[in-house]
């Protein structure tokens, strides 16, 4: 009986359907399932229905992991509907070092993401309060900072200073852009200098660190906020953990570059859930106005 059971073959019957009035058969072994309807959490492995995922601000419904959010979704979540006016929309990248295939890579990403560069800047309102906002987008060369990104951030800061407005920057970056060498590193000083003038004018600067915030961005404008917020689980640091361990020849604490560790050790001021971010920013802005 066992041998017969092992040799037994099961036949998959086709499904008869009607298309344009004509009967046809579909093979059950190759069912038609709509693509893009499900997402797998890379933290806990949960399979999430995309509509639920979007409804919960791109957060895992099981482990509560905050997924990386694109700039358009972020602005829609934070800025009042219809109030956002983008700044410096046509500012693009130049291949200052004649790096091989760099502009081709930029062009490909522009078509894929619909962005000109790795940061979107503009003016808008948060519950009626005017602000300048800059949102970095990790889809575009991992949010790396080249000349165009540094210039857009600097001009956004200068615009906020001229208009006497607070500025909020959402960071998400792998650091300085290697294809632009020393030019990318110069953006650290340029953005920091603009922020110093903004501070001297008595204006508020809030940074929101999102996953990941690393390299030259961390070493410049990301950590210069009057108030520094972060999303849960955000990776924050300058160099990678392995590089640091190899340099100092010491074992580092578990999770030492996570937002929770940095909050405990006084590097950031608050960890804010994504669903609470707009209201938290509004309260900080309102408090500063008074």
- Which residue numbers belong to the known binding site? 41, 44, 60, 63
Which residue has 């601000």 as its token pair? 57
Decide: 152 and 119 in contact? Cβ < 8 Å.
Answer: yes
- Residue numbering of the annotated binding site for Zn(2+): 41, 44, 60, 63
Instruction: Name 38's bridge partners.
Output: 49
Phi, psi of 271 (to 5 degrees): -105, 125
User: Whole-angstrom Cα distance, residue 105 to residue 160?
Assistant: 32
Which residue has 């540094």 as its token pair? 150
Return the closest-CA partner of residue 154 out of 95, 104, 194: 194
Six token digits for residue 24: 């046809």
DSSP letter for 96, please. T
Six token digits for residue 80: 């009042």
Decide: 174 and 239 in contact? Cβ < 8 Å.
Answer: no
DSSP string across 213-276: E-HHHHTTGGG--SEEEE-TT-BB-SS-HHHHHHHHT-PPPTTTTBHHHHHHTTSSSEE--GGG
DSSP letter for 61, please. T
User: Whole-angstrom Cα distance, residue 188 to residue 220?
Assistant: 5
**CA torsion through residues 233, 239, 243, 245, sign:** negative
């Amino acid at each position: 009986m066992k041998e017969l059971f092992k040799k037994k073959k099961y036949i998959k019957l086709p499904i008869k359907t009607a298309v344009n009035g004509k009967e046809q058969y579909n093979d059950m072994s190759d069912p038609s399932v709509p693509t893009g309807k499900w997402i797998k959490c890379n933290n806990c492995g949960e399979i999430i229905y995309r509509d639920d995922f979007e409804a919960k601000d791109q957060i895992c419904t099981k482990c509560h992991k905050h997924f990386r959010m694109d700039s358009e979704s972020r602005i829609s979540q934070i800025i009042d509907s219809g109030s956002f006016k983008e700044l410096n929309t046509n500012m693009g990248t130049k291949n200052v070092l004649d790096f091989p295939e760099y502009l081709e890579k930029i062009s490909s990403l522009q078509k894929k993401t619909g962005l000109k560069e790795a940061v979107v800047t503009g003016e808008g309102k948060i519950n009626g309060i005017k602000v300048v906002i800059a949102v970095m987008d990790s889809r575009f060369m991992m949010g790396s900072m080249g000349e165009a990104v540094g210039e857009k951030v600097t001009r956004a800061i200068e615009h906020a200073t001229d208009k006497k407005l607070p500025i909020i920057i959402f960071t998400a970056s792998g650091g300085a852009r290697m294809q632009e060498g020393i030019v990318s590193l110069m953006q650290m000083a340029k953005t920091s200098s603009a922020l110093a003038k903004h501070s001297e004018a008595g204006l508020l600067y809030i940074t929101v660190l999102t996953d990941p915030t690393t390299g030259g961005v961390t070493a410049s404008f990301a950590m210069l906020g009057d108030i520094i917020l972060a999303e849960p689980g955000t990776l924050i640091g300058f160099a990678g953990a392995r590089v640091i361990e190899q340099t100092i020849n010491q074992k580092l604490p578990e999770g030492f570059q996570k937002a929770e560790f940095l909050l405990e050790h006084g590097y950031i001021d608050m960890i804010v859930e994504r669903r609470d971010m707009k209201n938290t920013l509004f309260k900080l802005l309102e408090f500063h106005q008074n």
